[in-house]
Amino acid sequence: MDISFLGGPRPQRGVGVVAPFDFALDRELWRWVPDEVSLHLTRTPYVPVEVSLDLARLVSEHETLSDGVHTLTAIAPEVVAYACTSGSFVGGIAGERAMCEAMTRAGAVPSVTTSGALLEALTELGVRRVALVTPYTVSVTRALEQYVAEAGVAVTGCAFMGLTRHIWKVPYRDVAGMARRAVGRRRVDALFISCTNLPTYDVIPQLEAELRIPVLSANQVTMWAALRRLGTRAVGPYQALIDPAARIDPATPSGPVLPDVPDVPEQEQQ
């Protein structure tokens, strides 16, 4: 059978992704990617450490990131993304910028990180007050709060899960429940759900409709920022970051319409 009439394959544009060794959500990343773009993933070397600030530092060392980027150069991606939230906020804003510089030197292409993409997304949406949901322990969660505060954004609500492993197994209902607790009836401009290993794709539209604020997630902002550097858009239904038509009209009342959730001690939030 002559298939030459099909032409193709279509020209391919590539996004290289360096992820921690335990990253398990490749399929979720692909859901934000348009047909003409391919993802090329590689992982950092395994280290026998649970999710913690120590692990965040280990998987974000410049040499580790440069080695990861080097493994992608043969397939010539147009942009490289480091898909790890804690690994890219653990050194603060200066540390995140230095990571991008190291990756760009290694691959000679633009680079983004999850935490850098978060700040970019908050600026895009004009967010000054944010609520946070994390699967982390209290120490890692506090480091995220400090990173966001360093950027001049107030953290007005927070809920965390206290997990140190198997984060990709958390069901959507738990993510949604923590989101409601973090927001409560507080005045917030947006919600951020941290960790690239926490599933969020399908829960974002539900929470945006319910809470009536933009809902951002680690994988979402990473793909949004990387694809933005290609001059193309991420795909996803009813997500305010991706589709301006999904953003709440500033003239309408904003904020959640849920029963109040009182603040509780950190150990009870886990």
CATH code where residue 159 lies: 3.40.50.12500
Asked if residue 96 is part of any domain, the answer here is yes
Helix (H) or strand (E) holding 81: strand 79-82
Question: Region 26-52: what's the mean pLDDT?
Answer: 97
Question: Region 11-31: what's the mean pLDDT?
Answer: 96
**What is the pLDDT, as a whole number, of residue 250?**
42
**What is the pLDDT, as a whole number, of residue 264?**
38
Nearest 5°: phi and psi at 43? -125, 155
Asked if residue 1 is part of any domain, the answer here is no
**What is the pLDDT, as a whole number, of residue 9?**
73
Asked if residue 223 is part of any domain, the answer here is yes
Asked whether 29 and 221 are in contact (CB, 8 A), the reply is no
Question: Region 27-37: what's the mean pLDDT?
Answer: 96
**What is the pLDDT, as a whole number, of residue 131?**
98
Asked if residue 24 is part of any domain, the answer here is yes
Residue 13 tokens read as 């544009």
Question: Region 204-230: what's the mean pLDDT?
Answer: 97
Segment among 170-174, 212-216, 222-226, 255-259 with least mean pLDDT? 255-259
Which residues fall within 8 angstroms of residue 68, CB to CB, at 6 or more apart?
18, 42, 43, 44
Q: What is the share, in percent, of the chain residues with pLDDT greater than 70?
A: 89
pLDDT digits over 85-125, tens only? 999 999 999 999 999 999 999 999 999 999 999 999 999 99
Asked if residue 267 is part of any domain, the answer here is no
In this predicted structure, the answer to whether residue 217 has a pLDDT above a threshold of 70 is yes
Domains in the chain: how many in total?
A: 1
**What is the pLDDT, as a whole number, of residue 2?**
66
Asked whether 15 and 39 are in contact (CB, 8 A), the reply is yes
Three-class secondary structure of residue 175 per DSSP: helix
Asked whether 153 and 68 are in contact (CB, 8 A), the reply is no
Asked if residue 232 is part of any domain, the answer here is yes
**What is the pLDDT, as a whole number, of residue 47?**
96
Domain that holds residue 175: 13-246
Q: List C-alpha distances in Å: 134 to 200, 215, 257.
A: 12, 13, 22
Q: What is the share, in percent, of the chain residues with pLDDT greater than 90?
A: 84
pLDDT band per the 50, 70, 90 thresholds, residue 254: very low
168: which DSSP letter?
A: G
Asked if residue 77 is part of any domain, the answer here is yes
**What is the pLDDT, as a whole number, of residue 251?**
42
Closest by CA position to 241, among listed 260, 254, 222: 222
